[in-house]
Amino acid sequence: MYFYILILTIIITSYILITINHKNFLKRKDINLEYIVNVSTNIIIALLFAYFIGLKNSKYIVNNNNTIYIQNIIYYLLIIDTLYYWIHRTSHRIPFLKTMFHDVHHDVKNLLPSDTFHNNILEYIIYIFLIHYLPLFFINISITEYNIASFIVLIHSIYVHYDTKAVLLPGFITSTHHKKQKRQERQEREEREERQKREERQERKERKERQERKERQESKLVDNKNKKYFYY
């Protein structure tokens, strides 16, 4: 247990130092108490999950054999990557999920490594359960293999949010994909806002025309009424 605490302390300390010393840290204006609480809460959730798997419940889900098989690690990574792709894609394609949950993660201008954990808390719990937890019931992976795979996922997540053009490995997505996705979403949002503005302008124009038409009709009725009295 103390070994786990030591490793986690080193990882968290390194993570904080990497974020603070990042080139975008001083550019970010949204690093307030709300942001810190959100990131810290999701880190705690991730640590509790790691503790639950690694120490408390590993005998029910993963075997305790310390033998390392590369194919098991690759198999597990392929499974969680596939699950992540489709769940993440769904969160972008369904407006309700995107607006209520996933927009929190993309609502930043300059990426930081800490944005890995900048998520809606409920969404983050669902992600952990469906992507990292559920597959463990269906594959035979040792606790050591699981820890190695989790460390690889963490390193890649930091890399994706590091805002760098350097390529980690061929075929791996980079922060460019994240920024491109963000630009596309911003463009779509701007198009929606512009379309909404056009619709509002058209609605105001039609309302004005209806009002003017109504006034002309009323004026005409008054004129006809006055003419009628004049003839009498």
d(CA 148, CA 158): 16
Amino acid found at 124: Y
184 and 158: one domain?
no
Q: Answer for the pair 174, 165: CB distance below 8 angstroms, yes or no.
A: yes
| Digit-coded pLDDT (tens) for 67-104 | 788 888 899 999 998 998 898 888 888 888 877 888 77
112 and 43 together in one domain: yes
Rounded Cα–Cα distance for residues 168 and 156 (Å): 8
What does the pLDDT average to over 181-207?
78
User: Which pTM was predicted?
Assistant: 0.68
State how many domains the chain has.
2
Which domain, by its residues, includes 70? 2-169
